[in-house]
Amino acid sequence: MSGPSNYQPKSAFGKWMHERLPIMELVQGQALDFPTPKNLNYWWTFGGILAVMLVAQLVTGIVLAMHYTAHVDMAFDSVEHIMRDVNYGWLLRYLHSNGASMFFIAVYVHIFRGMYYGSYKAPREVLWMIGVLIYLVMMATAFMGYVLPWGQMSFWGAKVITNLFSAIPFVGESVTTWLWGGYSVDNPTLNRFFSLHYLLPFVLAGLVGLHIWALHVPGNNNPTGVNVRGSQDTVPFHPYYTMKDGFAIVVFMLLYSAFTFFGPNYLGDAINYLPANPLSTPSHIVPEWYYLPFYAILRAIPNKLIGVIAMFGSILILFALPWLDTSRVRSGTYRPIFKQIFWIFVVVCITLGFAGSGPPDNYFLSHEAAPPDEWHLTYKLVGQIAAVCYFAFFFPILPLLGLLESPKPLPPSISDDVLAKKKPLVPAE
């Protein structure tokens, strides 16, 4: 990570330190002076927002672990002990549970931003793939965290999700037994989930370090997708982007606070305030909102094994995205057809989310059951249509589009683009 730093230690101590551990040079080169395209818009602030959310989850999580008891007989009551007795326990717990949702809101915006502006394309494939890995680890972490309060949805969510692995041919049953440490989700499961829920965020932090490293080799993409041609195209990260990100972070904190203080249970499932009961399944099992699209894909396919493969495939396909997109133009701004298809894809993902939220055989967005053996617009059918659209976006649409679409002319450089926007020849529309 050699940066464009011309760091010169000023004090005697700085010099002494610099000869032994040039950490200040690293900070100055990679964090303060790092040349960053001058045209990044607010969609780019979500990287910084995500870093803040990771820290928020780590800090609140570490203190919650000081009061939580990972035992099936005590877990639920220990969470309520946090809510009722621990000083500011209610705040820390609500910050942590809502923080998970905020983390996912930010990561989804971040991923869609990367897709729209082609941030996954050469030379940033590895950066993108580390990002997908981060997303996978996030999902695993959040899933295990949701099990810890040991409410009804914790238990049944854990049971359903771990049962996914039983779809693996031949060894499926052994794998689930191994995951559970028994014949069902029980105390051994809860204990290992707690251990891993504490461990994985630090793995995440490490991956984030790699993600930033991989970002700082080629440097940031930007809304035009045009490479940086020289110092006229960039500004130092500090103070330009520290302040822009800082503003965005505080605005995001406003949203976070609104949920934490005024609707702390809105994003969760009410039934999770009922202690886990292994003898009674809730009438309707849904995962947390951030998993719903994948849950819809799982339910769209009547075959267990293929359903599970499709669900994992829908995430793993993101690893192949850099090679599925054949267009040589990075930014969606200059790809008229891609731009429209991208927004359709966003709508498809949201539709999948809704398709995953309701009982499969009810009419879509209603609580009325559809009569069986007939053709009805049910949650399941909508999920099936949207799942087909989801995969079609990656293949064959993206590869074909790159070959067929004729992109708009690109600006010669970032600074040309900035200047052109500054002095529009015609009044802005």
Question: Residue 360 in contact with residue 391, Cβ under 8 Å?
Answer: no
Closest contact distance (angstroms) between CB of 254 and another protein is 5
Q: What residues are paired with 275 via a beta bridge? A: 151
CA distance 352 to 292: 7
- Whichever of 25 and 288 has its CB closer to another protein, that residue is 288
CA distance 282 to 153: 8
Looking at residue 36, the DSSP 8-state letter turns out to be E
With CB under 8 A as the contact rule, which of the stretches 15-23, 165-173, 199-207, 251-259 interacts with another protein?
251-259
One-character DSSP codes across 237-290: HHHHHHHHHHHHHHHHHHHHHHHHHH-TTTTS-GGGGSBP-TT---SS----GG
Binding of residue 71 to another protein (CB under 8 A): no
Tally of CA atoms within 13 A in the half-sphere of 354 that contains its CB = 16
Binding of residue 270 to another protein (CB under 8 A): yes
Taken in order 15, 18, 19, 21, the sign of the CA dihedral is positive
Binding of residue 424 to another protein (CB under 8 A): no
CA distance 128 to 194: 29
Question: Residue 325 in contact with residue 402, Cβ under 8 Å?
Answer: yes
Give residues 309-348 in contact with another protein (rule: CB under 8 A).
346-347
Q: How far apart are the first and last CA of the chain?
A: 43
| Strand-pair category, 35-37 with 234-236 | antiparallel
Dihedral pair phi/psi, residue 37, rounded to 5°:
-50, 140
Binding of residue 41 to another protein (CB under 8 A): yes
Binding of residue 229 to another protein (CB under 8 A): no
Q: Which of 10, 12, 21, 367 lies at the binding interface for another protein (CB under 8 A)?
A: 367
Binding of residue 416 to another protein (CB under 8 A): no
Binding of residue 240 to another protein (CB under 8 A): yes
Dihedral pair phi/psi, residue 394, rounded to 5°:
-75, -35
Binding of residue 388 to another protein (CB under 8 A): no
Q: What residues are paired with 378 via a beta bridge? A: 363
Closest contact distance (angstroms) between CB of 284 and another protein is 5
Question: Residue 248 in contact with residue 48, Cβ under 8 Å?
Answer: yes
- Whichever of 316 and 344 has its CB closer to another protein, that residue is 344
Binding of residue 274 to another protein (CB under 8 A): yes
Binding of residue 65 to another protein (CB under 8 A): no
Closest contact distance (angstroms) between CB of 126 and another protein is 28
- Whichever of 17 and 271 has its CB closer to another protein, that residue is 271
Binding of residue 36 to another protein (CB under 8 A): no
CA distance 350 to 340: 16
Binding of residue 51 to another protein (CB under 8 A): no
- Whichever of 217 and 347 has its CB closer to another protein, that residue is 347
- Whichever of 176 and 415 has its CB closer to another protein, that residue is 415
Binding-site size for another protein (CB under 8 A) equals: 65
Closest contact distance (angstroms) between CB of 84 and another protein is 6
Q: Which residues bind another protein (CB under 8 A)?
A: 38, 41-43, 59, 63, 66-67, 77, 80-81, 83-92, 94, 152, 235, 239-240, 243-244, 246-247, 250-251, 253-254, 257-258, 260-266, 270-274, 283-284, 286, 346-347, 350-351, 354, 357-359, 362, 365-367, 369, 422
